[in-house]
Structure formats: structure tokens, C-alpha cells
Amino acid sequence: MEQNNFKETVLRISGVNPKKCMRCGKCSGACPNYDEMEFHPHQFVSMVENGEIEKLMTSPSVYKCLTCFACVERCPRQVEPAKLIEAVRLCVIRQAGQNHLKPDQIPEMLDEDLPQQAIVSAFRKFTK
């Protein structure tokens, strides 16, 4: 039941229909960060469709996606895997106490050249 709820949420907030996927794997062929991920873009699509959301939610892969949209741009069937990955990550960080990045971690990460943009973006991606 829980699982179905997550699947529903992921589908709703991503606006993606994983059934459109024809399993060509072009997303994973395009992904620049493929080697850093446990689950790869094409797996996100099929695992969301199979309702295996929790497996994805506990994987560090959700924080490795660069949201560079290469998979979205090149998908021949307009499935938009990056939107699914984002939605799975949101399912995690929207839960109480699940922020991936905490403000008190920031100071040690800073260096003097680091642009604000990086901190702002990371906050938007990793916290709620």
C-alpha cells in the first residue's frame, strides 16, 4: 500500500508516464554521471513502473543526478527520466527530518571562490 502511494506521488509530481519507455537505454547512454550511480536513468524508469520506489529512495543515486537533462533531451520517446529521479528524491527529502544537506554542514564545505549559486542550488535540490 505504502509502495503504491509512493509510486502515485512520483508519477503525479513528475508528470512522467514510464509506460512510454521502449527500453532503448539511450538515457543511460547519454548520462554523464552514469558511473557514479547505483541505479541508472533507465532503471529509474522501469523501477518506478514496477513500484520499487523505496529501493530507489534509499539509494545514494538520487543525489548523484546532475539534472543536466541530457537524458530528457535525447530520449526518443519523451519519457524524461531526470524528472522521475527528481520526484523520487523529493519523496525522500519531503519526509520530516530527511534533509540531505544541513545548514551547519555548509561552513566546512565552503571555499572562498565558491559561488552562491552552488549553495543555493544544492539547498534547493537536497532540502525541504
Partner 1 sequence: MTVSYYPGCTLKTKAKNLDLYARKCAEALGIALEEIPEWQCCGGCYPVAKDEIATKLSSVRALAAAKEKGQTLVTVCSACHNVIKRVNHDMQTDEEIRDKVNRYRAPDEPYEGETNVLHYIEMLRDLVGFDKIKEKVVNPLAGKKIAAYYGCLLLRPGKVMAFDNPENPSILEDFIRALGAEPVLYPARNECCGGYLTLEDPEIPKKRSETVLQSAQNHGAEVVTTACPLCLYNLQKNGGSEIPVVYITELLAEALGLK
Partner 2 sequence: MQRIGVFVCWCGSNIAATVDVKKVAETLGKEPCVVYYENYQYMCSEEGQNKIINAIHEHKLSGIVICSCSPRMHEATFRRTAQKAGLNPYMVEIANIREQCSWIHKDMATATEKAIILGRAAIAKVHLNTPLQAGESPVVKRALVIGGGIAGIQTALDIADAGFEVDIVEKKPTIGGKMSQIDKTFPTLDCSACILTPKMVDVAQNEKIHIYSYSEVAAVKGFVGNFDVTIKRKARYVKEELCTGCGACTEKCPQKKVPNDFNLGLDNKHAIYIPFAQAVPKVATIDPDYCMMLKTGKCGVCSKVCAAGAIDYKQQDELVQQQYGAIVVATGYNPIDLKNYDEFAYSQSPDVVTSLEFERLTNAAGPTGGVLLRPSDRQHPHTIVFVQCVGSRESGEGCGKTYCSKICCMYTAKHAMLTREKYPDTEVYVFYIDVRTPGKNFDEFYRRAVEEYGVHYIKGMVGKVSPENGKLMVQASDLLDNKQLKIEADLVVLAAAIEPDPSARPLATMLTTQMDTNDFFTEAHPKLRPVESATAGIFLSGCCQGPKDIPETVSQASACAAKVIGLLAKDKLLGNPCVAESNELMCNGCSSCEKVCPYGAISYVDKEFKMPNRTIAVRRVANVNPAVCQGCGACTVACPSGAMDLKGFSNSQIMAEVDAICK
Positions touching partner 1 (CB under 8 A) are 12-15, 32-33, 36, 63-64, 66-70, 72-73, 82-83, 86-87, 90, 101, 109, 111, 113-126
Q: Contact region for partner 2 (CB under 8 A) — 66-74, 84-92, 95-103, 117-125?
A: 66-74
Q: Looking at beta carbons only, is 28 or 99 nearer to partner 2? A: 28
Place of cell 503525479: 12
* Contact (CB, 8 A) for 122 and 89: no
Closest CA to 122 of 96, 95, 100, 104: 100
Closest distance of CB 27 from partner 2, Å? 7
- The sign of the CA dihedral 15, 19, 22, 26 is positive
Under the binding rule (CB under 8 A), the answer on residue 20 touching partner 2 is: yes
